């Protein structure tokens, strides 16, 4: 029979879909009580989850013989439980010096890089770490002291890529009690009590005082605050993505990303002639007409910066404020220099985010873009002749497969010629296959070009791919290099779209063509 703690953790995993049947879960075991308890808990519920377990351990080379003893302890524990053991060791102190990071950040980067390698090599499909409700409370407090906004209050996420954290609602004291019941030993990390570290002071000094003198449930309350903040951030992330896709577009052959200033400052304002809403009415009495949208505008600026740079590191609140000032009162040609060489530049009534050295374009080009937008069109973006455009000839075998690598996308496309009727193991759906005998040379795998069109399966008339992109909510920035297959000068297939009806496999098809895609 499962213990109450095992039942609680099982419910948390199922509720958040942290693991699915068939997963190989690498349990990150440091040797400390929390991670050892996580391993024993997952052992108790793995049959119910339909998963297999292995043990992963990362040695940061920070505590000499103590670190080596931890690694031996975890290796012996894995052997005793009959589990595969994976060990990695790197010098976190040297990495911190090389990158100019504090020791904790460097250690974390190395550790999570190790987790990513384990998954990338196919040795595990998930990595489970033993972060607890106490860790969550300490994280929220540490971020408050450092200075943070609502996103920082979200704390540690239960799921982050391949990493899952089943114990975020569990207290450390519960885990230690569980191990004592099992008679299971663990290791103590001496650095956890080193009061020179802020995290240790929060754990050993601050939280005990808060629990004793202010609220015995302060840890649970801080963990609940983090949960509510994550829900808020999930909503904001969805709203920001929706708005970015609606108002941002590539600028001047994709050297930058442009947005109308009116859309940035009032991203939810109704269009002229549409009914007003409560928020719009509130703006009439406000000194700043964009005030009700301020929180969304700030997030949009951070998202546009991320799009131009690839991440949002180093972008501070002061930078965001400078961009807002430029949008509100700057003149055309005004610019703000952002971290890592990113520029926000005002071009008439547009704000362009681009990398330094990629100027947004001439006045004439800017005016053309404005006129196109005013007429309901789009600012010109890359298509024919675009940077990164590609075209690869395809030679199909009589049977078997041919692989086409497209480094511009970081993807590989496998075109399989199979006997027809298809076997269920060969393809997911008959509708996804083409009739190989109908294909004509030249057969080309290339990027989308403006004007590409075909009659999709089930349709009566040809449709432009641009219309299908809109219906499928494909972001503009992704359309430029979208893969299509051309046969004898006609487009017959596009990724994620119904194939051309005239070329689909049917009852009298002899050979089917199936297209599959994976990462390089």
Going edge to edge, which strands form the sheet with 24-28?
A: 85-89, 52-59, 24-28, 126-128, 163-164, 159-160
Instruction: Quote the pLDDT of residue 330.
Output: 86
Distance (Å, rounded) from C-alpha 403 to C-alpha 516? 9
- Closest by alpha carbon to 351, among 253, 267, 248, 477? 248
Asked if 57 and 14 sit in the same domain, the reply is yes
- Among residues 89, 35, 90, 82, which one has the least CA distance to residue 54? 82
Mean per-residue pLDDT, 138-153: 91
CATH number (domain holding residue 71) = 3.40.50.620
Q: Are residues 122 and 225 in the same domain?
A: yes
The pLDDT tens digits for 317-341 are 899 999 999 999 888 888 899 998 8
- Centre a 10 Å sphere on the Cβ of residue 443 and count the other Cβ atoms it contains: 18
- The answer to whether residue 379 sits within a structural domain is no
Residue 337 lies in a domain: yes
pLDDT at 151: 86
Render the burial of 113-138: b for 16+ CB within 10 Å, e for the rest: ebbeebbeeeebbbbbbbbbbbbbbb
- Rounded CA-CA distance 416/316 in Å is 50
Residue 15 lies in a domain: yes
Query: Of 443, 395, 418, whose CA–CA distance to 516 is shortest?
Result: 418
- What would the two tokens of residue 390 be? 């590609």
- Please state, rounded to an integer, the average pLDDT across all residues of the chain: 85
Contact present, 125 and 25 (Cβ < 8 Å): yes
Question: Quick one: pLDDT at residue 76?
Answer: 97
Residue with tokens 């600012």: 379
Residue 164: per-residue pLDDT = 96
pLDDT at 501 over 80: yes
Q: For residues 282 and 307, what is the distance between their CA atoms, to the nearest angstrom?
A: 32
Residues 122 and 9 in one domain: yes
Residue bearing tokens 């992963």: 56
Residue 174, burial from CB neighbour count under 10 angstroms (0-12, 13-18, 19+)? middle
State how far the Cα of 287 lies from the Cα of 307, in Å rounded to an integer. Answer: 31
Domain count across the chain? 3
Q: Which has the higher per-residue pLDDT, 278 or 502?
A: 502
More confident residue, 293 or 49: 49
From 374, 402, 435, give the residue that closes a domain. 374
One domain, residues 262 and 303: yes
Do β-strands 443-447 and 483-487 pair in parallel, antiparallel, or remain unpaired? antiparallel
Give the count of beta carbons closer than 10 Å to the beta carbon of residue 112: 18
Given a cut of 50, whether residue 199 has pLDDT beyond it is yes
Pair (221, 257) in one structural domain: no
pLDDT of residue 137: 97
Domain of residue 279, residue span:
252-374
The full length of the chain comes to: 520
- Asked, for residue 402, whether it belongs to a domain, the answer is yes
The answer to whether the beta carbons of residues 265 and 297 sit under 8 Å apart is yes
Of 203, 233, 263, which closes a domain? 233
Helix 133-146 to helix 218-247 angle (10° resolution) is 70
Query: Counting beta carbons within 10 angstroms of the beta carbon of residue 226, is it exposed (0 to 12), middle (13 to 18) or buried (19 or more)?
Result: buried
Domain assignment present for 238: no
Same-domain status, 95 and 228: yes
Q: 246 in a domain, yes or no?
A: no
Question: Would you place residue 380 in the very low, low, confident or very high pLDDT band (cuts 50, 70, 90)?
Answer: very low
pLDDT (tens digit, 9 = 90+) per residue, 415-452? 998 888 754 444 444 447 899 989 988 899 999 998 89
Instruction: Say if residue 27 is in the same domain as residue 161.
Output: yes
Name the H helices within 353-410: 363-374
8 A C-beta contact, residue 130 and residue 34: yes
Contact 501, 457 (CB under 8 A): yes
pLDDT band at residue 80 using 50, 70 and 90 as cut-offs:
very high
Question: What are phi and psi for residue 30, nearest 5 degrees?
Answer: -85, -25
Residue 176 lies in a domain: yes
208 and 63 assigned to the same domain:
yes
Mean pLDDT of 196-214: 94
φ, ψ for residue 144 (rounded to 5)? -60, -45
pLDDT top residue among 198 and 357:
198
**What CATH number has the domain bearing residue 260?**
3.30.465.60
Q: Is the pLDDT of residue 229 over 80?
A: yes
Q: Give percent of the chain with pLDDT exceeding 70.
A: 86
Cβ neighbours around 491 below 10 Å, total: 23
SS3 state at 507: coil
13 neighbors 19 (Cβ within 8 angstroms): yes
Measured CA to CA, the distance from residue 260 to residue 14 in angstroms comes to 44
Residue 253 pLDDT > 80: no
Is there a domain that residue 308 lies in?
A: yes
What is the mean pLDDT of the segment spanning 469-473? 81
Mean pLDDT, range 261-286, rounded to an integer: 62
Of 142-146, 194-198, 291-295, highest mean pLDDT: 142-146
Q: Which of 182, 199, 233 is the last residue of a domain?
A: 233
What gap in Å lies between CA 444 and CA 460, rounded to an integer?
A: 25
Q: Is the pLDDT of residue 258 over 70?
A: yes
pLDDT at 251 over 90: no
Q: Which residue has the tokens 């009739």?
A: 435
On whether both 189 and 329 belong to a single domain, the answer is no
SS3 411: strand
Same domain, yes or no, for 351 and 462?
Answer: no
288, 184: one domain? no
Across 147-151, 200-204, 367-371, which has the greatest mean pLDDT? Answer: 200-204
Taking the C-alpha atoms of residue 7 and residue 183, their distance in angstroms, rounded to an integer, is 20
Lowest mean pLDDT among 189-198, 221-230, 373-382, 396-405: 373-382
Does residue 466 share a domain with residue 335? no
477 near 469, Cβ under 8 Å?
A: no
């Amino acid at each position: 029979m499962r213990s109450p703690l095992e039942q609680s953790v099982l419910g948390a995993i199922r509720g958040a879909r942290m693991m699915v049947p068939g997963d190989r879960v690498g349990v990150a075991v440091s040797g400390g009580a929390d991670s050892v308890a996580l391993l024993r808990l997952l052992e108790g519920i793995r049959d119910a989850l339909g998963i297999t377990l292995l043990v992963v351990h990362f040695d940061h080379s920070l505590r000499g013989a103590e670190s080596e003893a931890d690694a031996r302890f975890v290796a012996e524990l894995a052997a005793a439980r009959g589990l595969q053991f994976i060990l990695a060791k790197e010098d976190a102190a040297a990495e911190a010096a090389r990158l100019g990071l504090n020791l904790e950040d460097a250690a974390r980067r190395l550790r999570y890089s190790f987790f990513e390698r384990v998954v990338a090599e196919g040795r595990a499909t998930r990595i489970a770490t033993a972060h607890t409700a106490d860790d969550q409370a300490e994280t929220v407090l540490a971020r408050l002291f450092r200075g943070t906004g609502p996103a920082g209050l979200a704390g540690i996420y239960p799921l982050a890529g391949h990493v899952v954290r089943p114990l975020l609602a569990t207290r450390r004291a519960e885990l230690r009690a569980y191990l004592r019941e099992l008679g299971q030993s663990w290791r103590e990390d001496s650095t956890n009590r080193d009061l020179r570290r802020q995290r240790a002071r929060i754990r050993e000094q601050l939280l005990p005082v808060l629990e004793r003198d202010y609220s015995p449930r302060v840890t649970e309350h801080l963990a609940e605050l983090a949960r509510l903040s994550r829900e808020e951030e999930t909503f904001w992330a969805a709203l920001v993505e929706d708005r970015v896709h609606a108002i941002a577009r590539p600028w001047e052959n994709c050297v930058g990303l442009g947005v109308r200033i009116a859309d940035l400052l009032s991203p939810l304002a109704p269009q002229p002639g549409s009914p007003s809403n409560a928020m719009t009415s509130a703006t009439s009495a406000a000194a700043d007409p964009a005030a009700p949208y301020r929180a969304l505008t700030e997030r949009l600026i951070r998202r546009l910066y991320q799009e131009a740079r690839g991440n949002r590191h180093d972008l501070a609140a002061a930078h965001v404020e400078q961009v807002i000032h430029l949008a509100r009162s700057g003149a055309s040609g005004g610019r703000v220099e952002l971290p890592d060489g990113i520029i926000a530049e005002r071009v008439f009534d547009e704000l362009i985010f681009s990398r330094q050295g990629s100027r947004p374009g001439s006045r004439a080009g800017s005016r053309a873009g404005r006129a196109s937008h005013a007429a309901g069109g789009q600012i010109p973006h890359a298509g024919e002749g675009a940077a990164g455009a590609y075209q690869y000839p395809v030679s199909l075998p009589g049977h078997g497969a041919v692989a086409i690598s497209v480094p511009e996308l970081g993807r590989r496309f496998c075109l399989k010629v199979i006997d027809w009727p298809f076997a269920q193991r060969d393809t997911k759906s008959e509708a996804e296959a083409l009739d190989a005998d109908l294909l004509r040379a030249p057969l080309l795998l290339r990027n989308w070009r403006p004007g590409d069109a075909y009659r999709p399966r089930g349709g009566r008339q040809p449709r432009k791919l641009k219309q299908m992109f809109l219906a499928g909510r494909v972001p503009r920035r992704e359309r430029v290099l979208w893969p299509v297959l051309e046969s004898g000068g006609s487009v017959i297939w596009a990724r994620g779209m119904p194939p051309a009806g005239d070329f689909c496999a049917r009852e009298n098809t002899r050979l089917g063509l199936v297209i599959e895609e994976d990462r390089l």
